[in-house]
Structure 1
Amino acid sequence: MEIMRLAFNHGDPAGPLRHSTQTALAPWVIPDDLDDAMVVVSELVQNVTQHTAGGGELVVTVEPGAVIIEVRDYSPVLPKVQPPDAQRLGGRGLLLVAGVTRAWGAAPTAQGKVVWARLATADIRSDSVT
């Protein structure tokens, strides 16, 4: 079930989107899983705002045992994981995403691309399902 969809502009900070995601997900997941989701939102949104010319859209979906976070943007360039490099600042975001998710990937769309991440959750609270 989709619980949140928010557009954002090029250069926008990830903080407000993290806050909105935290508020939307809090009834659905345990705190540790919420922390992992915040890492994913930060990294995927920052990739768009730092490495593309336009804005994007954040979509959060919950299903039993998982949270899916998607970030859509207008660039056709798919992200690449960079190997760790002590001489380079940054460039570790997708490694972080890979470390806290069950799976992640990217796919071209008619308007650009979508980068998605699936987080396993210890508990999707059944009392929150409508």
Structure 2
Amino acid sequence: MTWVLPDDPSAVPEGRHRIRTTLTEWRLDDQVDVAELLADELITNALRHAWGKPLLTLSLIDGALRCEVNDLSPELPRMRLPDAGEEHGRGLQLLEQLSARWGSVLTYTGKVVWFEITAARP
């Protein structure tokens, strides 16, 4: 499933809502909190470091929940260690710690940043 999100701060709660609703329909309630948190980071980064309307895509393949956020910037994310007093810069560290895998890839129009988490159904 893919959604075009607004190119303003309302994209973050809308993205969380889309994830919660979809994962509930897919009976993946246990993965909602982590998926929302990580997608929140990707959407926020797309709004902060790119332009245009981000695309949010969720898919479920072979026991893995995959979330992708497309934006129009060709600059791939870089892992960095923020200073203790910084309020931003920890999103990729969260991806590294909470996802099974994550990555980014250039597209013709920008990039996709994605993560996968195990999708265990009850």
Q: TM-score, normalised by structure 2?
A: 0.90
Relative contact order higher in (CA < 8 Å, ≥ 6 apart): 1
Structure 1 gap ranges (5+):
126-130
**Aligned equivalents of 1:40 and 1:89: distance in 2?**
17
Residue 5 of structure 2 is matched in structure 1 by: 8
Structure 2 gap ranges (5+):
none
Residue 97 of structure 2 is matched in structure 1 by: 99
Residue 64 of structure 1 is matched in structure 2 by: 62
Q: Deviations over 1:14-45 (max 9, x none)?
A: 00111111101113244331111111110111
Residue 78 of structure 1: CA displacement?
A: 0.3
Contact 2:99–2:117 (Cα < 8 Å) also in 1: yes
Alignment: residue pair count: 121
Residue 25 of structure 1 is matched in structure 2 by: 23
Residue 120 of structure 1: CA displacement?
A: 1.1
How large is the RMSD of aligned CA atoms in angstroms?
A: 1.5
4+ residue segments displaced more than 6 Å: none
Q: Structure 1 81/29 Cα, relative in aligned 2: closer, same or farther at 3 Å?
A: farther
- Range moving further from structure 2, 9-18 or 39-48: 9-18
